[in-house]
Chain A
Amino acid sequence: MRTSHASVNYRVRMVVVLTALVSTVAGADDKSSCPGPDCVAVTDAWFADEVWSKVGVMECIKCHKQGGDAEDSRLLLRELGLAKDDERKKLMTLNRDAFARVARLKSGDQALLLIKVAGGLDHGGKEVLKTGSTGYRILEQFVRRVNSPAATLPQTPLINPDAPPFFDGVLMLDDVRLLRRATLSLAGRLPTKKERATVEADGLKAVPGILDGVMHEDAFLERLREGFNDIFLTLGVDGNPDATVLSYEHFEKTRLWYQKRDLSHITDEKERRQAGYKLANDYRAALLGEPMKLIEYIVRNDHPFTEIVTADYIMVSPFTARGYGVFDELKDQFSNPDDPFEYIPVKLKALTGRSRREDQESATGFYPHSGLLSTFQYLSRYPTTETNRNRLRARMYYQHFLGVDVLELAARVSDAAAVSEKFEIPTMQASECVVCHKTLDPVAGLFQDYWRFEANFALYGKRKEGWFTDMFDAGFEGEDLPAKERWRALEWLGERTAKDPRFAVAMTEHAYYILTGRRPLLPPKDLDDPLHAARSRAWQEQRQQVEAIARRFVDGGFNFKDSIKDWVLSDFYRADGLATAATTPAREAELSDVGVVRMLPPEQLERKLTAIFGQPWGQLTNQTAMLYGGIDSKEVTERATDPSGAMGAIQRTLSNDVACRNVAYDFSRPVADRILFPTIEPDVRPGASTESDMQIRRAIVYLHQQVLGRADEPDSREVDRTFALFAGIVADAASKGIDPREVWSCRQGLESPVPDPHYTVRAWRAVVTYLLRREDFLYE
């Protein structure tokens, strides 16, 4: 099989990164100089920091572990997983001992370990480290130390006991601004007065309780769905979902129910046609929405988040229930049977084909649900082909649910084409291929009964010839799928996934991604990078945080809201500035990823505008949303994180237009109803009196608070600058013979006339434009 036998090597994010706590293994008293031949603690620290972090976990453990391709070799290592301190220390010691045992072996007069790692003595993993590379030199040093314990340790301290705390000198958001960031991010709204008062009175400890309330709001649940779709991309199912989610083979008679809907009560033909379109569109949207509604249901009801791979139900609405053919039996459970988007959990019966041959096998008579994994949307979004053999699905499974990107970092093969020629079944015989396929292919085999290639026709269906024999057998991480479990293979997988420590870490990372728009750091690979130590520290600090939150997530029964709260309260989310500039490249490297600093994606920007101005801009949709870095979940699946010139232009338009719509309008309203200018009128001019200037400054303070969330003093530098802008424009206008009215487009829909003889309304509009173009509005 050639399609994906590639010599891929996979970076096991969780496995690799769960070494972050290695520095703690050594203990705080370790010194850089070895006090004597038995300086075990120092050796431990050195092993953890150098051998394990830079070689063992990056290379060796991919094969030299239980279930790995080299599990029968003399070097068998242990993954650290989510082990806590003592257990972690124990595992690290076992790994050190395993390395030490091999380091004592020789082939001729050379160390076996060094020969093997360089590809000699028929090493299954071929050349892992080049002779003379940094990794190789580390192993050389380890071999020397093991065979001559008195050998000198490196002079440079590996763990600097005097290093200041990682966040030393980093300024955190104050509690009120943290609250604003969190409510805007999670629920698209400003904090209420009561919430503000609570935090002002009780400080940070009040935030979790408030977030509990926020996370019950519909806006949060919408944000949750949006965030998880960025990860799972199930809205990107190809074609019309009434065909590609509900297939002809199993839903032939029901999936197109809307075409038979009697709309004859609508007498106008055009209206009737439009109603038909709406019916179809709502139905399709409801079908696409089901997977994310499952996540919403789990979180809303505080179910264990493991249900995203174990739930024995799906979410259906009155419209989609008709598509599945189960509406009649469910209709009494819906509050409104005509609401396309009211979802309830439902367990489907096993699929019935047009011929009995295509009936789904089921020991219980029910469809073997396993959360998202077995939804038709997920299977259709990640389809398979005759040659791909479900490997795409397996790859996405690892990425989505265990945080393992199988293809992220591929190892080099000297000649992949030659490997294809040399081996009859490279994926089972060539070690560079086996390293990956031994993990990937068994999971691909678990999807074997979803073996149809035209989603429109069918998703479920068995391969006539039986599953491939030139692939590793169906299973998971070394455990074969029992034959009696085949009918529920994905359920079987889901049960194991929920127990895998990588699952909790992956979900914690998803929470981080949703909050920050970026994925956690990867371990630095370039051992020769002069900033490697700094980058490594940044990664380790973040990794410790990920693991700590993941542990609490597990201990708390997998409540996803706990992860969100933990991240919001973490230093990584609260970091906002520096007390003094980072003075060295190393410190800059350490801090390079600290701070949320996220450019708001189009959906969140619209919600923020709504929160502040009471209405959205409404333009950041469709093509403009794409221009502004949005995704379509199909072709464009990664959001833009940096603004291009095109996005800069949209920001200009947005700031101009939103200010145009809101400033004169706000002045036209009764004071009590105003959002932007409740304390000032357009007739207050700068320079007229000390009192008028102070009034303007107070209005600016209010605007800064309202639009930017800043708490500036009236005589602050920021207010000075905004005041100068306002006053400068009014002064410029006074010398220019201006029209005494706002421009036509910006004075439409006013509740009362707002004359502008002194240009103050337009100057305030310029101020709002200025604020909307700033990073403290456009970024999170």
Chain B
Amino acid sequence: MSKDRSMRRDFLKWCAGAGLGLATPIRFPDTAQADDSHELPAYDGPYYIVFNASGGWDTTYLMDPKGVGGINRLYEEGDILTHGVHRFAPTAKHKEGGLSNEDFYAEFGDELLVFNGLDYSVNNHSPCSRYMATGKLDSLAYPTFAALVAACQGPTCPLSFLTFGNYSATGNLVAMSRVPYLPSLKRIANADAIEGNERSPYHDEFALSRIEQALGERRADRARQPLLPRRDRAENMLYAAQINSKALARVTPHIPQSIPKQRLAQQAEIALASFKAGVCVSANLSIGQFDSHANNDRDQMKLIPEFLEGIAYVLHRAEELQIREKLVVVVQSEMGRTPTYNKGDGKDHWSIGSTMFLGPGIKGDRVIGSTDEKQFAVPLDPTSLSDDKERGIRIRPEHLHQALRQFAGIADHPHSREFPLGVAGPEELRGIWG
């Protein structure tokens, strides 16, 4: 059996080296065989979490404060606070629960990179969500960054790409995993044992090995036959899903005893346990209700602090789990909110917004891009990363996604090349990560 295990490992290594997950329509090498190994190599990072403020956050109450022209009713320009180069809106006096901007910046400002003045071009939820998640506005086929990086860096991980909401297209590169509740993780951790009790296996080990061997031989046999592309891909993914699912047993020790109450914290625990177990590359975390067409200030003062508290929770727990130094955090929303209030004290959709980044390899205490006093995007010189109203360009999601792909080292991966972003060399954001 050790030979089989070795072959299995070689096969997985071969897949990874070729930039191909088992999810992709590939042909098995003739010698590939399955075994009963539990030794799928653990994915060791970096891990990616994309936080999404679903519905459209008011950036002027967070990282792009204004306080002029009636844009904000809760503070004036003179009330704007700073931490290092960051300027942020004061929220400590207005928040309903959660974490204030003051506390968030005090703890994380030094490692935080903010991008202001992002131009989404359009301002409807559906296209904006797609655009912000994938970097491509006019295609339904493109994968989200989280899915793409999972497909490139950990295609064999059983929960390679976890999602808890937001736009989550995969480009057919990797399976999307939804694990909505913590107890669900326990349920799937020991699939070959009765009631999940490892001491009560359904099959004796030798019988289970024979089952796996038969399935592996059959898959290899099928891979040599002419199959419809859909069928080939489906059989490949199915085989990979079942084989790789064995690694889920590693999650069990990292499932917390108690379930946190906060929405983002619940999602985070599932993602972090999966990261720690080496079975997950990326996760979309999301909370909604930011679409504050009525009573903007009240809603945003409830949701932004809740959102920041969730981010802080992840970073603290990652510290405890000793994976903080491998955790890359992207914080985004699909749009901003108008610089004016409507009749219902709400704010409508605005096609200019902001994003935040934090993690290893990202130099913090920096703000790139800006909006003017009316909350319009100021063009940016992509080389110097400074404002340039005359010769600068409008920075859109594809620019940030191109930079993210480069940051993750996947810009030239075949999967990325399959989904080009069309950012010309001179428009690439040079040195954005510091």
Contact present for A649 and B124 (CB under 8 Å): no
B201-228 CB mask vs A (1 if < 8 Å, else 0) is 0111011101101110110010000111
Interface residues of A in 421-444 (CB under 8 A from B): 421
A611-640 CB mask vs B (1 if < 8 Å, else 0) is 000000000000110110100000110001
Contact present for A725 and B214 (CB under 8 Å): yes
| CB nearest neighbor in A for B157 | A645
| CB nearest neighbor in B for A395 | B126
Contact present for A418 and B376 (CB under 8 Å): yes
A96-138 CB mask vs B (1 if < 8 Å, else 0) is 0000000000000000000000000000000000000000000
Interface residues of B in 3-46 (CB under 8 A from A): 23
Q: Which of B241-249, B298-306, B316-324 lies at the interface?
A: B241-249
- Checking B208, B211, B349 against A2 with a beta-carbon cut-off of 8 angstroms, the contacting residue is B349
A/B pair count, beta carbons within 8 Å: 286
Contact present for B211 and A407 (CB under 8 Å): no
Contact present for B175 and A766 (CB under 8 Å): no
How far apart sit A652 and B140, CA to CA, in the bound complex (Å)? 32
What residues on B are CB-neighbors of A640 within 8 Å?
175-176, 178
Q: Which of B58-66, B338-346, B359-367, B403-411 lies at the interface?
A: B338-346
- Checking B160, B188, B235 against A627 with a beta-carbon cut-off of 8 angstroms, the contacting residue is B188
Q: Is B85 an interface residue (CB 8 A)?
A: no
What residues on A are CB-neighbors of B106 within 8 Å?
none
CB distance from B206 to the nearest CB of A (A): 4
What residues on A are CB-neighbors of B83 within 8 Å?
none
- Checking A417, A623, A773 against B184 with a beta-carbon cut-off of 8 angstroms, the contacting residue is A623
CB distance from A421 to the nearest CB of B (A): 8
Is the interface on chain A under 10, 10 to 19, 20 to 34, or 35 or more residues?
Answer: 35 or more
What residues on A are CB-neighbors of B237 within 8 Å?
642-643
Q: Which of B74-82, B93-101, B115-123, B423-431 lies at the interface?
A: B115-123
How far apart sit A203 and B126, CA to CA, in the bound complex (Å)? 47
Interface residues of A in 368-389 (CB under 8 A from B): 385-388
How far apart sit A597 and B187, CA to CA, in the bound complex (Å)? 27
- Checking B124, B242, B350 against A417 with a beta-carbon cut-off of 8 angstroms, the contacting residue is B350
Q: Is A749 an interface residue (CB 8 A)?
A: no
How far apart sit A409 and B141, CA to CA, in the bound complex (Å)? 11
CB distance from B6 to the nearest CB of A (A): 21
- Checking A6, A645, A738 against B177 with a beta-carbon cut-off of 8 angstroms, the contacting residue is A645
Contact present for A650 and B191 (CB under 8 Å): yes
- Checking B126, B221, B244, B349 against A645 with a beta-carbon cut-off of 8 angstroms, the contacting residue is B244
| CB nearest neighbor in B for A3 | B348
Contact present for B178 and A636 (CB under 8 Å): yes
Contact present for B140 and A522 (CB under 8 Å): yes
| CB nearest neighbor in A for B173 | A642
Contact present for A407 and B124 (CB under 8 Å): yes
How far apart sit A317 and B169, CA to CA, in the bound complex (Å)? 40
How far apart sit A642 and B241, CA to CA, in the bound complex (Å)? 9
Q: Is B310 an interface residue (CB 8 A)?
A: no
Interface residues of A in 639-677 (CB under 8 A from B): 640, 642-653, 656-657, 659-660
- Checking B170, B204, B230, B238 against A643 with a beta-carbon cut-off of 8 angstroms, the contacting residue is B238
CB distance from B39 to the nearest CB of A (A): 15
Contact present for A642 and B211 (CB under 8 Å): no
Q: Is B352 an interface residue (CB 8 A)?
A: yes
**Contact A647 to B241, CB < 8 A, known contacts A386-B344, A387-B346, A627-B188:** yes
Q: Is A577 an interface residue (CB 8 A)?
A: yes
How far apart sit A54 and B175, CA to CA, in the bound complex (Å)? 32
Q: Which of A42-50, A246-254, A318-326, A580-588 lies at the interface?
A: A580-588
| CB nearest neighbor in B for A170 | B228
How far apart sit A765 and B204, CA to CA, in the bound complex (Å)? 11
What residues on B are CB-neighbors of A413 within 8 Å?
121-122, 351
Interface residues of B in 375-401 (CB under 8 A from A): 375-377, 394
Contact present for A646 and B226 (CB under 8 Å): no
Contact present for A729 and B137 (CB under 8 Å): no
Contact present for A623 and B206 (CB under 8 Å): no
Contact present for B227 and A578 (CB under 8 Å): yes
How far apart sit A167 and B139, CA to CA, in the bound complex (Å)? 28
Contact present for B248 and A649 (CB under 8 Å): yes
Q: Is A415 an interface residue (CB 8 A)?
A: yes
Contact present for A766 and B203 (CB under 8 Å): yes
Q: Is B312 an interface residue (CB 8 A)?
A: no
Interface residues of A in 546-598 (CB under 8 A from B): 575-582, 588, 591-595, 597
Contact present for A416 and B123 (CB under 8 Å): yes
CB distance from B381 to the nearest CB of A (A): 18
Of B23, B179, B211, B338, chain A has the most CB atoms within 10 Å of the CB of B211
Contact present for B247 and A412 (CB under 8 Å): no
CB distance from B162 to the nearest CB of A (A): 9
Of A3, A7, A629, chain B has the most CB atoms within 10 Å of the CB of A3
CB distance from B80 to the nearest CB of A (A): 22
Contact present for B122 and A577 (CB under 8 Å): no
Contact present for A736 and B206 (CB under 8 Å): yes
Q: Is A91 an interface residue (CB 8 A)?
A: no
Contact present for B243 and A648 (CB under 8 Å): yes
How far apart sit A37 and B405, CA to CA, in the bound complex (Å)? 52
Q: Is B73 an interface residue (CB 8 A)?
A: no
Contact present for A732 and B188 (CB under 8 Å): no
What residues on B are CB-neighbors of A77 within 8 Å?
none
Contact present for B211 and A626 (CB under 8 Å): no
What residues on A are CB-neighbors of B181 within 8 Å?
623
In the complex, 8 of the A-B residue pairs with CB atoms within 8 angstroms, ordered by the A residue number, are A2-B342, A592-B229, A627-B187, A643-B242, A645-B177, A774-B218, A779-B234, A779-B238
Residues of A within 8 A of B (CB): 2-8, 170, 385-388, 407-418, 420-421, 522, 525, 575-582, 588, 591-595, 597, 599, 623-624, 626-627, 629, 635-636, 640, 642-653, 656-657, 659-660, 717, 721-722, 724-725, 728-729, 732-733, 736, 738, 743, 745-746, 762-763, 765-766, 769-770, 773-775, 778-779
The 7 closest A-B pairs by CB, nearest first: A645-B158, A648-B241, A648-B245, A416-B351, A410-B127, A644-B177, A652-B191
Query: Can you add 19 more A-B contacts, CB < 8 Å, to A4-B349, A415-B119, A743-B200?
Result: A8-B127, A385-B293, A411-B138, A413-B122, A414-B121, A415-B121, A594-B230, A597-B230, A642-B234, A645-B241, A646-B248, A647-B175, A648-B241, A649-B188, A656-B191, A722-B214, A724-B214, A769-B211, A775-B238
